[in-house]
Amino acid sequence: MADPSLYTYESPLKGYEGREPLPMEKAEDGKSYVNPPRDRPSEAYNSFVTPITNGIRGGFDIHIYFLQTDEEETRFANELWERIRRECRTMPIHQQFGAFVPWLVINRGPLSALIHPNTDDEEKDHTQRATWMGQPLPLNLKMFKKRAASKV
């Protein structure tokens, strides 16, 4: 993946400065903490956060990897693809993503999956912002470097 030291990161608390401290009281389950009520749910429940696209393309891509020379993996990949097409209904992309990822955790079998956001930085999306299910695989990033260079 990507070396975290190559990037700068905005504080996750940006926009929450000066707020009351959160209570340290444990919830009934004994594991989580009691959180104060909110006036309204976070916008992240209705759309992807900036800079992730909310357009027709969708905010995330999921790439399923399999060895094309392995008959069993190829069969499983084709069956998984058919099941996805049959099972996943049309719904707003952000809702579909929230339902699909847990489904894929259980149903991806022996295959690896790369999950990445779609922003205006393809290389960063496929490295620093990406998440793997299963065994991570090396990626050839040349095309992203070429595309970025051609935009200059």
CATH code (residue 135): 3.30.70.1240
Q: d(Cα 58, Cα 63) in Å, to the nearest integer?
A: 14
pLDDT at 35: 93
State the total domains in the chain: 1
Q: Which domain holds residue 125?
A: 4-151
Q: Measured on CA atoms in the order 63, 67, 72, 75, is the torsion positive or negative?
A: positive
- Tell me the pLDDT tens digit for each residue of 93-127: 777 888 899 999 999 999 999 999 999 999 999 99
pLDDT at 1: 64
Q: Within the chain, which residues score under 70 in pLDDT?
A: 1, 89-92
* Residue 124 and residue 109 in contact, taking contact as beta carbons nearer than 8 Å: no
pLDDT at 90: 59
pLDDT at 150: 84
pLDDT at 46: 86
